[in-house]
Amino acid sequence: MTTLLKNVTNSIWHAFNTLQQDGSGFVGKSKLKVLTANIATLLDLYGVERGLDHYRSTPTLNFDHYLYYLGQEVFSSLSAELPLSLLRNYETKIDEVCWLVCHKDFHMNDAYYNEEAVYQLFRIFCMMADLYNDDLDDNQFTVKIHPSEALIVVKQLLNSLGLDYNNEEKYDYLKKSDDSLEFNEFLEILRFKDYDKVNDYVASICEAIGDIYQTLIMDVVKKGYLFRRGYVLPTFREYFFVLQPCELTYYKHHTDREVCGTIALNSRFMVKPSISSSGKIERIQKFTLVSGDRTFELGAQDHKTRLQWISALQLAITYSTGREGFQRDAVNRRKQQRELEARKRQEEEQLRSIHLRQLQETNVQLEQEKLARLAAESQARQYEAVAREDSRRVAELEDVKLCLEKMLEDEIQAKRDEEIVRALQARVLAEEWEKREELEQLQIEQKNLLELERQKRIEFEHRQQENESRFRDAEQKLRQLEDERKKLDRELKMARQKITLSEENKGIVEAKLQAMAPTYRKAPDFMIRRTQSFVASDRPVVVAVPR
Protein backbone atom coordinates (compact mmCIF):
# COMPACT_ATOMS: atom_id res chain seq x y z
CA MET A 1 0.00 0.00 0.00
CA THR A 2 1.45 3.38 -1.07
CA THR A 3 1.80 6.28 1.34
CA LEU A 4 -0.93 8.30 -0.39
CA LEU A 5 -3.45 5.44 -0.27
CA LYS A 6 -2.61 4.85 3.38
CA ASN A 7 -3.23 8.54 4.17
CA VAL A 8 -6.61 8.70 2.38
CA THR A 9 -7.94 5.25 3.36
CA ASN A 10 -10.15 6.64 6.14
CA SER A 11 -11.78 9.28 3.95
CA ILE A 12 -12.34 6.70 1.16
CA TRP A 13 -14.03 4.45 3.73
CA HIS A 14 -16.48 7.23 4.64
CA ALA A 15 -17.40 7.60 0.97
CA PHE A 16 -17.68 3.80 0.63
CA ASN A 17 -19.86 3.65 3.75
CA THR A 18 -22.20 6.29 2.32
CA LEU A 19 -22.57 4.36 -0.95
CA GLN A 20 -23.72 1.17 0.80
CA GLN A 21 -27.44 1.43 1.42
CA ASP A 22 -28.27 -1.80 3.26
CA GLY A 23 -25.39 -1.76 5.73
CA SER A 24 -24.18 -5.18 4.56
CA GLY A 25 -20.63 -4.00 3.93
CA PHE A 26 -20.93 -4.41 0.12
CA VAL A 27 -21.32 -1.73 -2.58
CA GLY A 28 -22.28 -2.24 -6.19
CA LYS A 29 -19.55 -1.91 -8.79
CA SER A 30 -21.49 0.74 -10.71
CA LYS A 31 -21.27 3.14 -7.75
CA LEU A 32 -17.65 2.29 -7.10
CA LYS A 33 -16.78 2.99 -10.74
CA VAL A 34 -17.95 6.60 -10.34
CA LEU A 35 -15.92 7.06 -7.13
CA THR A 36 -12.87 5.41 -8.72
CA ALA A 37 -13.11 7.57 -11.83
CA ASN A 38 -13.19 10.77 -9.73
CA ILE A 39 -10.18 9.68 -7.66
CA ALA A 40 -8.25 8.60 -10.78
CA THR A 41 -9.00 11.92 -12.55
CA LEU A 42 -7.38 13.82 -9.68
CA LEU A 43 -4.27 11.67 -10.21
CA ASP A 44 -4.30 12.25 -13.99
CA LEU A 45 -5.38 8.67 -14.66
CA TYR A 46 -8.22 7.73 -16.97
CA GLY A 47 -10.16 4.55 -17.70
CA VAL A 48 -8.93 2.63 -14.62
CA GLU A 49 -12.50 2.28 -13.35
CA ARG A 50 -13.37 -0.06 -16.25
CA GLY A 51 -11.21 -2.75 -14.66
CA LEU A 52 -13.79 -3.14 -11.89
CA ASP A 53 -16.03 -5.06 -14.30
CA HIS A 54 -13.42 -7.81 -14.60
CA TYR A 55 -12.24 -7.65 -10.97
CA ARG A 56 -13.78 -10.59 -9.14
CA SER A 57 -16.93 -12.24 -10.40
CA THR A 58 -19.33 -10.68 -7.89
CA PRO A 59 -21.48 -7.62 -8.67
CA THR A 60 -20.54 -6.07 -5.34
CA LEU A 61 -17.30 -5.54 -3.40
CA ASN A 62 -16.52 -5.10 0.26
CA PHE A 63 -14.15 -2.38 1.41
CA ASP A 64 -11.16 -4.69 1.69
CA HIS A 65 -11.54 -5.85 -1.93
CA TYR A 66 -12.08 -2.28 -3.15
CA LEU A 67 -9.04 -1.02 -1.24
CA TYR A 68 -6.93 -3.77 -2.79
CA TYR A 69 -8.14 -2.79 -6.28
CA LEU A 70 -7.27 0.87 -5.67
CA GLY A 71 -3.79 -0.09 -4.49
CA GLN A 72 -3.12 -2.34 -7.49
CA GLU A 73 -4.78 -0.40 -10.33
CA VAL A 74 -4.82 3.28 -9.28
CA PHE A 75 -2.26 4.30 -6.66
CA SER A 76 0.42 1.90 -7.89
CA SER A 77 0.80 4.15 -10.97
CA LEU A 78 2.18 6.96 -8.80
CA SER A 79 5.86 7.33 -8.14
CA ALA A 80 7.10 6.23 -4.74
CA GLU A 81 9.30 9.36 -4.57
CA LEU A 82 6.58 11.99 -4.68
CA PRO A 83 7.57 15.18 -2.84
CA LEU A 84 5.72 15.93 0.36
CA SER A 85 4.02 19.06 -1.08
CA LEU A 86 2.58 17.13 -4.03
CA LEU A 87 1.58 14.28 -1.78
CA ARG A 88 -0.30 16.72 0.47
CA ASN A 89 -1.99 18.29 -2.59
CA TYR A 90 -3.24 14.88 -3.83
CA GLU A 91 -4.45 14.02 -0.35
CA THR A 92 -6.43 17.28 -0.11
CA LYS A 93 -8.16 16.71 -3.47
CA ILE A 94 -9.09 13.09 -2.67
CA ASP A 95 -10.46 14.12 0.72
CA GLU A 96 -12.59 16.77 -0.98
CA VAL A 97 -14.08 14.20 -3.36
CA CYS A 98 -14.83 11.80 -0.51
CA TRP A 99 -16.34 14.62 1.53
CA LEU A 100 -18.66 15.53 -1.35
CA VAL A 101 -19.95 11.95 -1.28
CA CYS A 102 -20.42 11.59 2.49
CA HIS A 103 -21.00 15.14 3.80
CA LYS A 104 -24.80 14.60 3.92
CA ASP A 105 -24.31 11.90 6.55
CA PHE A 106 -22.83 14.53 8.89
CA HIS A 107 -25.34 17.36 8.39
CA MET A 108 -25.21 19.67 11.39
CA ASN A 109 -28.58 20.30 13.04
CA ASP A 110 -27.34 23.45 14.79
CA ALA A 111 -25.48 26.58 13.84
CA TYR A 112 -22.38 26.02 15.93
CA TYR A 113 -20.21 24.98 12.95
CA ASN A 114 -20.22 26.08 9.38
CA GLU A 115 -19.69 23.71 6.47
CA GLU A 116 -15.99 24.52 6.15
CA ALA A 117 -15.36 23.85 9.86
CA VAL A 118 -17.06 20.44 9.65
CA TYR A 119 -14.96 19.58 6.58
CA GLN A 120 -11.79 20.58 8.43
CA LEU A 121 -12.82 18.45 11.42
CA PHE A 122 -13.51 15.60 8.98
CA ARG A 123 -9.97 15.75 7.63
CA ILE A 124 -8.55 16.01 11.14
CA PHE A 125 -10.62 13.00 12.18
CA CYS A 126 -9.50 10.95 9.14
CA MET A 127 -5.84 11.73 9.81
CA MET A 128 -5.97 10.81 13.51
CA ALA A 129 -8.45 7.89 13.31
CA ASP A 130 -7.81 4.20 12.63
CA LEU A 131 -9.59 1.66 10.45
CA TYR A 132 -11.04 -1.27 12.44
CA ASN A 133 -12.41 -4.58 11.20
CA ASP A 134 -15.53 -5.99 12.85
CA ASP A 135 -14.71 -9.12 14.87
CA LEU A 136 -18.10 -10.67 14.07
CA ASP A 137 -18.23 -9.86 10.35
CA ASP A 138 -15.09 -9.68 8.18
CA ASN A 139 -16.95 -7.57 5.60
CA GLN A 140 -17.73 -4.77 8.04
CA PHE A 141 -15.21 -2.00 8.69
CA THR A 142 -15.38 1.20 10.70
CA VAL A 143 -13.18 4.25 11.27
CA LYS A 144 -12.83 5.45 14.86
CA ILE A 145 -10.58 7.83 16.74
CA HIS A 146 -8.96 6.93 20.01
CA PRO A 147 -10.11 9.02 23.03
CA SER A 148 -6.56 10.24 23.67
CA GLU A 149 -6.39 11.67 20.12
CA ALA A 150 -9.79 13.31 20.52
CA LEU A 151 -8.57 14.78 23.81
CA ILE A 152 -5.69 16.49 21.95
CA VAL A 153 -8.18 18.26 19.65
CA VAL A 154 -10.37 19.23 22.62
CA LYS A 155 -7.39 20.74 24.46
CA GLN A 156 -6.27 22.74 21.44
CA LEU A 157 -9.79 24.06 20.80
CA LEU A 158 -10.25 25.09 24.42
CA ASN A 159 -6.85 26.81 24.45
CA SER A 160 -7.68 28.61 21.20
CA LEU A 161 -10.95 29.82 22.76
CA GLY A 162 -9.06 31.11 25.77
CA LEU A 163 -10.57 28.51 28.12
CA ASP A 164 -8.75 26.39 30.68
CA TYR A 165 -8.98 22.68 29.99
CA ASN A 166 -8.10 21.81 33.58
CA ASN A 167 -11.44 23.23 34.72
CA GLU A 168 -13.40 20.98 32.35
CA GLU A 169 -13.96 17.81 34.35
CA LYS A 170 -16.52 16.46 31.88
CA TYR A 171 -13.69 15.53 29.49
CA ASP A 172 -11.74 13.57 32.07
CA TYR A 173 -13.43 10.36 30.94
CA LEU A 174 -11.43 10.58 27.70
CA LYS A 175 -8.26 9.93 29.71
CA LYS A 176 -9.59 6.69 31.19
CA SER A 177 -11.80 5.38 28.37
CA ASP A 178 -10.65 2.95 25.70
CA ASP A 179 -13.84 3.18 23.63
CA SER A 180 -12.99 4.74 20.27
CA LEU A 181 -15.31 7.37 18.77
CA GLU A 182 -16.92 7.60 15.35
CA PHE A 183 -17.04 10.92 13.51
CA ASN A 184 -20.56 11.82 14.74
CA GLU A 185 -19.48 11.19 18.33
CA PHE A 186 -16.30 13.15 17.72
CA LEU A 187 -18.36 16.13 16.51
CA GLU A 188 -20.67 15.84 19.50
CA ILE A 189 -17.90 16.22 22.09
CA LEU A 190 -16.61 19.31 20.26
CA ARG A 191 -19.90 21.20 20.60
CA PHE A 192 -19.17 23.61 23.44
CA LYS A 193 -22.75 24.81 23.83
CA ASP A 194 -22.39 26.17 27.36
CA TYR A 195 -19.60 28.68 26.70
CA ASP A 196 -21.71 31.83 26.60
CA LYS A 197 -18.80 33.85 27.93
CA VAL A 198 -17.03 33.48 24.56
CA ASN A 199 -17.90 36.44 22.36
CA ASP A 200 -19.07 35.57 18.84
CA TYR A 201 -18.89 31.89 19.66
CA VAL A 202 -19.44 30.49 16.12
CA ALA A 203 -16.78 32.67 14.52
CA SER A 204 -14.37 32.01 17.37
CA ILE A 205 -14.70 28.24 17.29
CA CYS A 206 -14.53 28.12 13.48
CA GLU A 207 -11.36 30.20 13.60
CA ALA A 208 -9.97 27.89 16.29
CA ILE A 209 -10.78 24.87 14.14
CA GLY A 210 -9.04 26.58 11.21
CA ASP A 211 -5.89 27.02 13.32
CA ILE A 212 -5.95 23.38 14.34
CA TYR A 213 -6.52 22.43 10.71
CA GLN A 214 -3.47 24.42 9.66
CA THR A 215 -1.40 22.76 12.37
CA LEU A 216 -2.52 19.16 11.93
CA ILE A 217 -3.49 18.85 8.27
CA MET A 218 -1.39 21.49 6.55
CA ASP A 219 1.42 20.43 8.87
CA VAL A 220 2.26 23.98 9.93
CA VAL A 221 5.16 23.60 12.35
CA LYS A 222 5.17 27.25 13.34
CA LYS A 223 3.84 30.57 12.18
CA GLY A 224 4.41 34.16 13.22
CA TYR A 225 6.08 37.44 12.35
CA LEU A 226 9.77 37.57 11.45
CA PHE A 227 12.11 40.06 9.83
CA ARG A 228 13.72 39.25 6.49
CA ARG A 229 16.59 41.06 4.83
CA GLY A 230 15.86 41.92 1.20
CA TYR A 231 18.07 41.30 -1.80
CA VAL A 232 17.80 44.69 -3.50
CA LEU A 233 17.47 46.81 -0.40
CA PRO A 234 19.53 45.23 2.42
CA THR A 235 17.06 46.26 5.09
CA PHE A 236 14.91 44.14 7.36
CA ARG A 237 11.20 44.05 6.60
CA GLU A 238 8.59 42.30 8.72
CA TYR A 239 6.56 39.46 7.17
CA PHE A 240 4.17 36.81 8.44
CA PHE A 241 5.93 33.44 8.03
CA VAL A 242 4.30 30.00 7.84
CA LEU A 243 6.67 27.06 8.32
CA GLN A 244 5.90 23.61 6.94
CA PRO A 245 8.24 20.59 6.68
CA CYS A 246 8.89 21.19 3.00
CA GLU A 247 8.68 24.99 2.69
CA LEU A 248 8.79 28.32 4.46
CA THR A 249 6.18 30.73 3.08
CA TYR A 250 5.82 34.39 4.04
CA TYR A 251 3.03 36.96 3.59
CA LYS A 252 2.76 40.68 4.19
CA HIS A 253 0.09 40.09 6.84
CA HIS A 254 -1.43 37.05 8.52
CA THR A 255 -4.79 37.77 6.82
CA ASP A 256 -3.33 38.00 3.35
CA ARG A 257 -3.77 35.17 0.87
CA GLU A 258 -1.18 36.40 -1.59
CA VAL A 259 2.19 34.77 -1.10
CA CYS A 260 5.15 37.13 -1.07
CA GLY A 261 7.70 34.37 -1.33
CA THR A 262 8.48 30.71 -0.63
CA ILE A 263 11.68 29.04 0.48
CA ALA A 264 11.74 25.34 -0.47
CA LEU A 265 13.39 23.41 2.38
CA ASN A 266 15.48 20.31 2.00
CA SER A 267 18.10 18.38 3.92
CA ARG A 268 20.92 20.69 2.67
CA PHE A 269 19.64 23.66 4.66
CA MET A 270 21.25 24.68 7.94
CA VAL A 271 20.12 27.17 10.58
CA LYS A 272 22.77 29.31 12.25
CA PRO A 273 22.28 32.05 14.86
CA SER A 274 24.00 35.35 14.05
CA ILE A 275 26.28 36.90 16.65
CA SER A 276 26.71 40.67 16.75
CA SER A 277 30.29 41.76 16.03
CA SER A 278 29.93 44.88 18.16
CA GLY A 279 28.86 42.97 21.26
CA LYS A 280 25.80 45.17 21.77
CA ILE A 281 22.28 43.88 22.20
CA GLU A 282 20.48 44.53 18.93
CA ARG A 283 16.80 45.22 18.47
CA ILE A 284 16.47 42.31 15.99
CA GLN A 285 17.69 38.88 17.03
CA LYS A 286 19.16 37.57 13.77
CA PHE A 287 19.71 34.06 12.44
CA THR A 288 20.49 32.71 8.98
CA LEU A 289 19.10 29.93 6.84
CA VAL A 290 21.91 28.57 4.65
CA SER A 291 21.82 26.10 1.73
CA GLY A 292 24.96 25.91 -0.44
CA ASP A 293 25.59 29.35 -1.88
CA ARG A 294 22.18 30.70 -0.87
CA THR A 295 21.74 32.49 2.44
CA PHE A 296 18.51 33.85 3.92
CA GLU A 297 18.97 36.26 6.80
CA LEU A 298 16.03 36.39 9.22
CA GLY A 299 15.37 38.04 12.55
CA ALA A 300 13.01 37.86 15.53
CA GLN A 301 11.75 40.35 18.07
CA ASP A 302 13.47 38.70 21.03
CA HIS A 303 15.90 35.94 21.91
CA LYS A 304 13.18 33.48 22.99
CA THR A 305 11.32 33.78 19.70
CA ARG A 306 14.57 33.30 17.80
CA LEU A 307 15.28 30.08 19.69
CA GLN A 308 11.77 28.82 18.97
CA TRP A 309 12.12 29.53 15.24
CA ILE A 310 15.56 27.92 15.07
CA SER A 311 14.21 24.76 16.73
CA ALA A 312 11.14 24.75 14.44
CA LEU A 313 13.27 25.22 11.31
CA GLN A 314 15.57 22.38 12.29
CA LEU A 315 12.52 20.15 12.83
CA ALA A 316 11.05 21.16 9.44
CA ILE A 317 14.36 20.47 7.67
CA THR A 318 14.47 17.04 9.29
CA TYR A 319 11.02 16.14 7.94
CA SER A 320 11.47 17.83 4.55
CA THR A 321 12.71 14.64 2.88
CA GLY A 322 10.21 12.31 4.56
CA ARG A 323 7.16 10.72 3.02
CA GLU A 324 4.94 11.81 5.90
CA GLY A 325 4.57 15.14 7.61
CA PHE A 326 5.47 16.02 11.16
CA GLN A 327 1.93 15.78 12.57
CA ARG A 328 1.12 12.48 10.85
CA ASP A 329 4.39 11.08 12.08
CA ALA A 330 3.48 12.24 15.60
CA VAL A 331 0.08 10.53 15.26
CA ASN A 332 1.79 7.33 14.13
CA ARG A 333 4.23 7.50 17.04
CA ARG A 334 1.37 7.98 19.50
CA LYS A 335 -0.44 5.05 17.89
CA GLN A 336 2.66 2.86 18.20
CA GLN A 337 3.00 3.94 21.82
CA ARG A 338 -0.64 3.00 22.49
CA GLU A 339 -0.15 -0.36 20.79
CA LEU A 340 2.99 -0.91 22.84
CA GLU A 341 1.14 -0.02 26.03
CA ALA A 342 -1.76 -2.27 24.99
CA ARG A 343 0.65 -5.14 24.39
CA LYS A 344 2.25 -4.47 27.75
CA ARG A 345 -1.16 -4.45 29.43
CA GLN A 346 -2.09 -7.64 27.61
CA GLU A 347 1.18 -9.26 28.68
CA GLU A 348 0.61 -8.06 32.24
CA GLU A 349 -2.92 -9.47 32.13
CA GLN A 350 -1.58 -12.75 30.81
CA LEU A 351 1.09 -12.81 33.51
CA ARG A 352 -1.54 -11.90 36.09
CA SER A 353 -3.86 -14.64 34.83
CA ILE A 354 -0.97 -17.13 34.84
CA HIS A 355 -0.06 -16.05 38.36
CA LEU A 356 -3.69 -16.36 39.48
CA ARG A 357 -3.96 -19.77 37.85
CA GLN A 358 -0.74 -20.88 39.54
CA LEU A 359 -2.01 -19.45 42.82
CA GLN A 360 -5.27 -21.35 42.41
CA GLU A 361 -3.39 -24.53 41.57
CA THR A 362 -1.19 -23.96 44.63
CA ASN A 363 -4.28 -23.44 46.78
CA VAL A 364 -5.80 -26.62 45.39
CA GLN A 365 -2.56 -28.49 46.10
CA LEU A 366 -2.48 -27.04 49.62
CA GLU A 367 -6.08 -28.11 50.16
CA GLN A 368 -5.27 -31.56 48.84
CA GLU A 369 -2.21 -31.77 51.07
CA LYS A 370 -4.29 -30.57 54.01
CA LEU A 371 -6.93 -33.22 53.31
CA ALA A 372 -4.18 -35.83 52.88
CA ARG A 373 -2.61 -34.74 56.18
CA LEU A 374 -6.00 -34.94 57.93
CA ALA A 375 -6.59 -38.36 56.37
CA ALA A 376 -3.11 -39.49 57.46
CA GLU A 377 -3.76 -38.22 60.99
CA SER A 378 -7.12 -39.98 61.04
CA GLN A 379 -5.49 -43.16 59.74
CA ALA A 380 -2.72 -42.83 62.34
CA ARG A 381 -5.35 -42.49 65.05
CA GLN A 382 -7.08 -45.58 63.69
CA TYR A 383 -3.77 -47.46 63.65
CA GLU A 384 -3.09 -46.30 67.19
CA ALA A 385 -6.52 -47.50 68.29
CA VAL A 386 -5.91 -50.84 66.53
CA ALA A 387 -2.50 -51.07 68.23
CA ARG A 388 -4.07 -50.39 71.61
CA GLU A 389 -6.73 -53.00 70.88
CA ASP A 390 -4.03 -55.49 69.84
CA SER A 391 -2.09 -54.77 73.03
CA ARG A 392 -5.24 -55.33 75.05
CA ARG A 393 -5.88 -58.60 73.23
CA VAL A 394 -2.27 -59.70 73.73
CA ALA A 395 -2.61 -58.97 77.44
CA GLU A 396 -5.84 -60.96 77.54
CA LEU A 397 -4.15 -63.82 75.70
CA GLU A 398 -1.27 -63.73 78.19
CA ASP A 399 -3.78 -64.01 81.01
CA VAL A 400 -5.48 -66.91 79.25
CA LYS A 401 -2.10 -68.53 78.72
CA LEU A 402 -1.27 -68.27 82.42
CA CYS A 403 -4.65 -69.76 83.31
CA LEU A 404 -4.15 -72.61 80.88
CA GLU A 405 -0.65 -73.28 82.21
CA LYS A 406 -2.05 -73.40 85.71
CA MET A 407 -4.77 -75.77 84.59
CA LEU A 408 -2.15 -77.95 82.88
CA GLU A 409 -0.07 -78.12 86.05
CA ASP A 410 -3.17 -79.12 87.98
CA GLU A 411 -3.87 -81.89 85.48
CA ILE A 412 -0.25 -83.12 85.68
CA GLN A 413 -0.52 -83.19 89.44
CA ALA A 414 -3.77 -85.11 89.14
CA LYS A 415 -2.03 -87.66 86.89
CA ARG A 416 0.76 -88.04 89.42
CA ASP A 417 -1.77 -88.57 92.19
CA GLU A 418 -3.51 -91.13 89.99
CA GLU A 419 -0.24 -92.98 89.46
CA ILE A 420 0.31 -93.07 93.21
CA VAL A 421 -3.16 -94.44 93.66
CA ARG A 422 -2.49 -97.10 91.04
CA ALA A 423 0.71 -98.12 92.80
CA LEU A 424 -1.12 -98.44 96.07
CA GLN A 425 -3.83 -100.49 94.37
CA ALA A 426 -1.18 -102.80 92.87
CA ARG A 427 0.40 -103.28 96.24
CA VAL A 428 -2.96 -104.03 97.81
CA LEU A 429 -3.75 -106.51 95.04
CA ALA A 430 -0.39 -108.22 95.56
CA GLU A 431 -1.12 -108.59 99.25
CA GLU A 432 -4.69 -109.71 98.73
CA TRP A 433 -4.14 -112.25 95.99
CA GLU A 434 -5.73 -114.88 98.15
CA LYS A 435 -9.06 -113.21 97.93
CA ARG A 436 -9.15 -113.77 94.19
CA GLU A 437 -12.83 -114.32 93.66
CA GLU A 438 -13.89 -111.28 95.51
CA LEU A 439 -10.95 -109.37 94.09
CA GLU A 440 -11.86 -110.44 90.54
CA GLN A 441 -15.22 -108.89 91.06
CA LEU A 442 -13.46 -105.80 92.33
CA GLN A 443 -11.03 -106.10 89.39
CA ILE A 444 -13.88 -106.00 86.93
CA GLU A 445 -15.24 -102.93 88.59
CA GLN A 446 -11.77 -101.43 88.73
CA LYS A 447 -11.23 -102.31 85.10
CA ASN A 448 -14.40 -100.53 84.15
CA LEU A 449 -13.25 -97.58 86.17
CA LEU A 450 -9.85 -97.72 84.41
CA GLU A 451 -11.44 -97.82 80.97
CA LEU A 452 -13.53 -94.89 81.93
CA GLU A 453 -10.45 -93.14 83.19
CA ARG A 454 -8.54 -93.90 79.97
CA GLN A 455 -11.39 -92.57 77.93
CA LYS A 456 -11.33 -89.48 80.05
CA ARG A 457 -7.55 -89.23 79.55
CA ILE A 458 -7.95 -89.57 75.80
CA GLU A 459 -10.70 -87.03 75.91
CA PHE A 460 -8.51 -84.82 78.08
CA GLU A 461 -5.64 -85.10 75.59
CA HIS A 462 -8.03 -84.23 72.79
CA ARG A 463 -9.25 -81.29 74.82
CA GLN A 464 -5.66 -80.33 75.49
CA GLN A 465 -5.05 -80.16 71.73
CA GLU A 466 -8.19 -78.16 71.36
CA ASN A 467 -6.98 -75.90 74.16
CA GLU A 468 -3.72 -75.35 72.30
CA SER A 469 -5.65 -74.28 69.18
CA ARG A 470 -7.91 -72.20 71.34
CA PHE A 471 -4.76 -70.60 72.74
CA ARG A 472 -4.09 -69.14 69.24
CA ASP A 473 -7.63 -67.95 69.14
CA ALA A 474 -8.06 -67.39 72.88
CA GLU A 475 -10.17 -64.28 72.63
CA GLN A 476 -13.02 -66.09 70.90
CA LYS A 477 -12.90 -69.35 72.89
CA LEU A 478 -12.08 -68.10 76.37
CA ARG A 479 -15.58 -68.76 77.59
CA GLN A 480 -15.49 -72.30 76.25
CA LEU A 481 -12.13 -72.95 77.94
CA GLU A 482 -13.50 -71.73 81.21
CA ASP A 483 -16.44 -74.10 80.84
CA GLU A 484 -14.06 -76.95 80.02
CA ARG A 485 -11.94 -76.08 83.03
CA LYS A 486 -14.99 -76.20 85.29
CA LYS A 487 -15.99 -79.51 83.79
CA LEU A 488 -12.50 -80.92 84.37
CA ASP A 489 -12.60 -79.63 87.92
CA ARG A 490 -15.83 -81.57 88.46
CA GLU A 491 -14.36 -84.68 86.92
CA LEU A 492 -11.20 -84.32 89.00
CA LYS A 493 -13.30 -83.96 92.06
CA MET A 494 -15.19 -87.12 91.17
CA ALA A 495 -11.88 -88.89 90.58
CA ARG A 496 -10.61 -87.79 93.93
CA GLN A 497 -13.82 -88.93 95.53
CA LYS A 498 -13.41 -92.26 93.83
CA ILE A 499 -9.82 -92.48 95.01
CA THR A 500 -10.94 -91.64 98.52
CA LEU A 501 -13.66 -94.28 98.25
CA SER A 502 -11.11 -96.75 96.96
CA GLU A 503 -8.83 -96.01 99.90
CA GLU A 504 -11.73 -96.53 102.25
CA ASN A 505 -12.57 -99.83 100.54
CA LYS A 506 -8.92 -100.76 100.78
CA GLY A 507 -8.98 -100.22 104.55
CA ILE A 508 -12.12 -102.26 104.86
CA VAL A 509 -10.63 -105.02 102.75
CA GLU A 510 -7.41 -105.00 104.78
CA ALA A 511 -9.37 -105.16 107.95
CA LYS A 512 -11.41 -108.06 106.70
CA LEU A 513 -8.27 -109.80 105.46
CA GLN A 514 -6.63 -109.41 108.80
CA ALA A 515 -9.73 -110.73 110.44
CA MET A 516 -9.98 -113.70 108.13
CA ALA A 517 -6.26 -114.43 107.75
CA PRO A 518 -6.19 -117.62 109.91
CA THR A 519 -8.88 -119.21 107.82
CA TYR A 520 -6.89 -118.99 104.61
CA ARG A 521 -3.96 -120.99 103.72
CA LYS A 522 -1.02 -119.80 101.87
CA ALA A 523 -1.80 -119.08 98.23
CA PRO A 524 -0.19 -121.28 95.65
CA ASP A 525 2.69 -119.97 93.55
CA PHE A 526 0.68 -119.70 90.39
CA MET A 527 -1.68 -117.29 92.10
CA ILE A 528 1.24 -115.16 93.24
CA ARG A 529 2.64 -115.10 89.70
CA ARG A 530 -0.77 -114.25 88.34
CA THR A 531 -1.14 -111.41 90.81
CA GLN A 532 2.25 -110.08 89.87
CA SER A 533 1.27 -110.22 86.22
CA PHE A 534 -1.77 -108.14 86.99
CA VAL A 535 0.32 -105.59 88.76
CA ALA A 536 2.79 -105.45 85.88
CA SER A 537 0.01 -104.95 83.39
CA ASP A 538 -1.00 -101.78 85.22
CA ARG A 539 -4.47 -103.09 85.81
CA PRO A 540 -6.22 -103.09 89.15
CA VAL A 541 -6.09 -106.37 91.03
CA VAL A 542 -9.27 -107.56 92.56
CA VAL A 543 -8.82 -109.77 95.57
CA ALA A 544 -11.51 -112.28 96.25
CA VAL A 545 -12.88 -111.94 99.71
CA PRO A 546 -14.62 -114.98 101.13
CA ARG A 547 -18.13 -114.50 102.15
Identity at 194, one-letter amino acid code: D
Write out the DSSP string of 154-208: HHHHHHHTT--GGG-GGGTHHHH----B-HHHHHHHT--TT-TTSTTHHHHHHHH
Q: How far apart are CA 183 and CA 483, in angstroms?
A: 108
**Residue 524, pLDDT score:** 52
Write out the DSSP string of 462-501: HHHHHHHHHHHTHHHHHHHHHHHHHHHHHHHHHHHHHHHH
Mind listing the domains of the chain with CATH numbers? 220-324 (2.30.29.30)
Task: Return per-residue pLDDT of the chain as tens, 547 residues.
Answer: 478 899 999 999 999 999 987 778 899 999 999 999 999 999 898 888 899 988 988 999 999 999 999 999 998 888 877 788 888 899 999 999 999 999 888 765 555 678 888 999 999 999 999 998 877 777 889 999 998 888 888 888 888 877 766 655 667 777 777 788 898 888 888 876 555 444 466 778 888 888 889 888 888 889 999 999 887 777 889 999 999 888 899 999 888 888 999 998 888 899 988 876 655 667 788 999 998 878 899 999 888 999 999 999 998 888 887 777 788 888 888 899 988 998 998 999 999 999 999 999 999 999 999 999 999 999 999 999 999 999 999 999 999 999 999 999 999 999 999 999 989 888 888 787 777 777 678 778 888 888 888 898 888 888 888 877 777 776 777 777 788 888 889 999 999 999 999 899 988 988 888 888 655 444 455 444 544 444 444 444 444 434 3
**Residue 396, pLDDT score:** 92
Structure-derived torsion over alpha carbons of residues 34, 38, 43, 49, reported in degrees to the nearest 10: 10
Identity at 541, one-letter amino acid code: V
Q: How far apart are CA 193 and CA 191, in angstroms?
A: 6
Identity at 316, one-letter amino acid code: A
Backbone angles phi, psi at 271, to 5 degrees: -110, 125
Neighbours of 35 (CB within 10 A): 21
What 3-state class would DSSP assign to 299?
Answer: strand
**Residue 535, pLDDT score:** 41
**Residue 282, pLDDT score:** 72
Tell whether pTM > 0.75: no
The 10s digit of each residue's pLDDT in 312-338 is 999 888 888 777 778 888 888 889 998
CB 450 within 8 A of CB 540: yes
**Residue 145, pLDDT score:** 92
Query: By C-alpha distance, which of 35, 61, 63 is closest to 49?
Result: 35
What are the distances in angstroms from CA 209 to CA 118, 121, 161, 252, 286? 9, 7, 10, 23, 33
Fill in the DSSP letter of residue 33.
H
